[in-house]
């Protein structure tokens, strides 16, 4: 198969009566659409008229089309129809605001935005501010397929690459990085990127064996995220089965959705396992059909606890939007070293890796270093993203020396197992000591007061950086109790961490800055950390940090 559409068409022809998409009750209610299954043949019968409509309007190879359709079934139909024409899709998150929409429209140069009616005005206003010739095409939000009203407006110009064959190297999608530390970059992703992801996942084996035409994969992650678009979707297109795409993560109704949809594989990120564990144990905790969880970021101290309670393994993986499956590593073989941050061993036949210091020198075993990766073989970039849109300099900088510089700090043991430490930009340097924000957050999150935490550096005149922790408490905290609560949190950290890693400031906040995929918005957090010291809800706890007596 050379395109995503071709793969979808082949699987639909092979299993026409099987379920392709399943909308469970909670998502159906959230979107105001009918719950239930959509078969492969039924979906294919909707894709072809859409393809014809786009072709008649003049959309083709080289055009980009924005999709602001949330996680609805219609997203897939438009994606496949446009992919058949050689057009690239640009998923647009529904939570983007005016400045973010303006940047995306201007930077991506989308010719059309297919959107829900409720977002049409915002898109048009952002387009006008950007000086763009963007057209919008509204869908009928009340229908399961959310089909458009009328026909698509024609693009402002002919397809830029109309004479170029459509194939594996054709741009399939433009996904924007989450922008946790800066302005989002547009990652150009070819058909090959998505096809490789589906093949990689379907052939993993061991604990992550995918049974052809039998798996039902449930994910609450947004279709603006590579996990949902490239992994959960593509494994279903490759191996058959059913995709259960939720509107978002609902902790209170998660298990009801899992049971109703008969899910066998769940996708997770970040705080999801912790939120599920926060509910009281129930006799029904193991009343489900789930075999495995695929994801990343489970709190190390909760990893084994989750598996023991709910009865299936959480298989931690590492990947980036830029790497796709070309340099994806997963802990899907035993021993998994649960609770250590281990994300498995790389397949040497597929990828190579190095851990290096700031000078690019390989670090010793067990020492942390930045993870550099590349594909094995003659083409180190095979299967990776095609580059950052309109930023060749950033692309080449990321690939300096023939290796992709991930910006992630990891360490390796003597057997080649890789362990995640933190993002390079999240490392706090206090008095010459390197401190991982993720490590401190993991400890703070174990305290019964804490619902969520985020740690960043704040300037310190003597030590360079000091550790500042933003805390969202489980229950509202009266101002008069902040000092005692901050002391309790620092004492909790001191009992488990080196003294210099404990928070020097504890700020009680209503919410953490998060990306649409529920990652901490590190850039915004760093800006907050500069302003918080000295404010009434930020407690100075530096005096509690004492080097232990010899």
CATH of range 4-412; options 1.20.1250.20, 3.40.50.12780, 3.40.50.2000, 3.90.1520.10: 3.40.50.12780
Distance CA 305, CA 287 (A): 17
- Judging by beta carbons within 10 Å of its beta carbon (0-12, 13-18, 19+), is residue 517 exposed, middle or buried? middle
Kindly report the number of other CB atoms within 10 A of residue 432's CB atom. Answer: 8
The whole-angstrom distance between residue 297's C-alpha and the CA centroid of its chain comes to 10
Structural domain spans, the chain: 4-412, 431-544
List of E strands, 424-485: 427-430, 433-436, 450-460, 464-473
Sheet holding 369-375, edge to edge: 351-356, 369-375, 404-412, 418-423
| Phi, psi angles (nearest 5°) of residue 404 | -80, 125
**pLDDT per position in the chain (550 positions), as tens?**
799 999 999 999 999 999 999 999 999 999 999 999 999 999 999 999 999 999 999 999 999 999 999 999 999 999 999 999 999 999 998 888 787 899 899 999 999 999 999 999 999 999 999 899 899 999 887 676 666 667 899 999 888 998 899 999 999 999 998 654 456 899 999 999 999 999 999 999 999 999 999 999 999 999 998 999 999 999 999 999 999 999 999 999 999 999 999 999 999 987 789 889 989 999 999 999 999 999 998 989 899 999 999 999 999 999 999 999 999 999 999 999 999 999 999 999 999 999 999 999 999 999 999 999 999 999 999 999 999 999 999 999 999 999 999 999 999 999 999 999 987 877 787 876 778 888 899 889 999 999 999 999 999 887 888 999 999 999 999 999 999 999 999 999 998 888 889 999 999 999 999 877 677 888 889 899 999 999 999 999 999 987 665 4
| Phi, psi angles (nearest 5°) of residue 15 | -130, 60
| Report field, pTM of the whole predicted structure over 0.95 | no
| Backbone dihedral region for residue 127 (phi beyond 0: left; psi -120 to 50: alpha; all else: beta) | alpha
Distance CA 381, CA 271 (A): 32
CA 254, 260, 261, 262 torsion-angle sign = positive
| CB-CB contact of 232 with 261 (8 Å) | no
Bond from prior residue into 302 cis (ω within 30 degrees of 0): no
Kindly report the number of other CB atoms within 10 A of residue 240's CB atom. Answer: 21
Domain 431-544 falls in which CATH fold? GMP Synthetase; Chain A, domain 3 (3.30.300)
> Tokens representing 286?
């193991």
């Amino acid at each position: 198969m050379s395109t995503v559409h071709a793969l979808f068409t082949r699987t639909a022809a092979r299993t026409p009566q099987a379920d392709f998409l399943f909308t469970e009750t909670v998502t159906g209610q959230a979107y105001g659409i009918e719950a239930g299954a959509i078969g492969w043949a039924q979906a294919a019968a909707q894709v072809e008229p859409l393809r014809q409509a786009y072709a008649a309007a003049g959309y083709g190879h080289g055009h980009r089309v924005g999709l602001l359709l949330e996680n609805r079934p219609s997203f897939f139909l438009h994606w496949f129809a446009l992919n058949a024409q050689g057009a690239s899709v640009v998923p647009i998150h529904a939570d983007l605001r005016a400045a973010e929409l303006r940047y995306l429209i201007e930077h991506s140069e989308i010719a059309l935005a297919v959107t829900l009616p409720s977002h049409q005005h915002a898109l048009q206003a952002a387009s006008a501010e950007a000086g763009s010739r963007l057209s919008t095409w509204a869908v009928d939000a009340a229908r399961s397929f959310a089909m458009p009203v009328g026909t698509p407006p024609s693009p402002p110009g002919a397809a830029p690459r109309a004479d170029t064959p459509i194939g594996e190297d054709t741009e399939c999608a433009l996904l924007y990085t989450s922008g946790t530390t800066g302005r989002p970059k547009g990652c150009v992703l070819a058909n090959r990127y998505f096809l490789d992801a589906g093949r990689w996942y379907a052939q993993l084996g061991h604990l992550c064996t995918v049974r052809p035409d039998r798996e039902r994969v449930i994910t609450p992650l947004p279709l603006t995220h590579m996990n949902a678009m490239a992994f959960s979707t593509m494994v279903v297109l490759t191996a058959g089965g059913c995709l259960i795409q939720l509107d978002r993560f609902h902790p209170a109704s998660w298990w009801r959705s899992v049971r109703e949809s008969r899910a066998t594989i769940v996708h997770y990120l970040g705080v999801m396992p912790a939120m599920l564990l926060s509910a009281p144990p129930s006799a029904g905790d193991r009343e489900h059909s789930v075999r495995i969880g695929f994801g990343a970021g489970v709190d190390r101290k909760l990893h084994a606890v989750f598996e023991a309670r709910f009865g299936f393994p959480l298989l931690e993986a590492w990947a980036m939007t830029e790497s796709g499956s070309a340099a994806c590593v997963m802990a899907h073989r035993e021993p998994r070293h649960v609770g250590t941050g281990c994300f498995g061993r790389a397949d040497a036949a597929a990828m190579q890796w190095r851990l290096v210091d700031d000078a690019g020198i390989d670090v010793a075993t067990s020492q942390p270093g930045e993870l550099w990766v590349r594909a094995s073989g003659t083409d180190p970039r095979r299967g990776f993203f095609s580059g950052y849109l309109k930023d060749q300099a950033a692309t080449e900088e990321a690939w300096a020396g023939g290796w992709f510089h991930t910006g992630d700090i990891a360490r390796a043991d003597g057997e080649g197992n890789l362990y995640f430490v933190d993002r390079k930009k999240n490392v706090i340097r206090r008095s010459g000591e390197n401190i991982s924000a993720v490590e401190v957050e993991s400890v703070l999150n174990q305290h019964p007061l804490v619902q969520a935490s985020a740690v960043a550096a704040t300037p310190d005149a003597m030590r360079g950086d000091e550790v500042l922790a933003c805390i969202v408490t489980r229950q509202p905290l009266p101002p008069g109790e902040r000092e005692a609560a901050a002391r309790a949190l620092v004492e909790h950290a001191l009992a488990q961490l080196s003294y210099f890693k404990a928070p020097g400031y504890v700020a009680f906040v209503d919410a953490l800055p998060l990306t649409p995929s529920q990652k901490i918005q590190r850039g915004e957090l760093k800006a907050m950390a500069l302003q918080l010291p000295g404010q009434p809800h930020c407690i100075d706890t530096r005096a509690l940090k004492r080097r232990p007596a010899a």
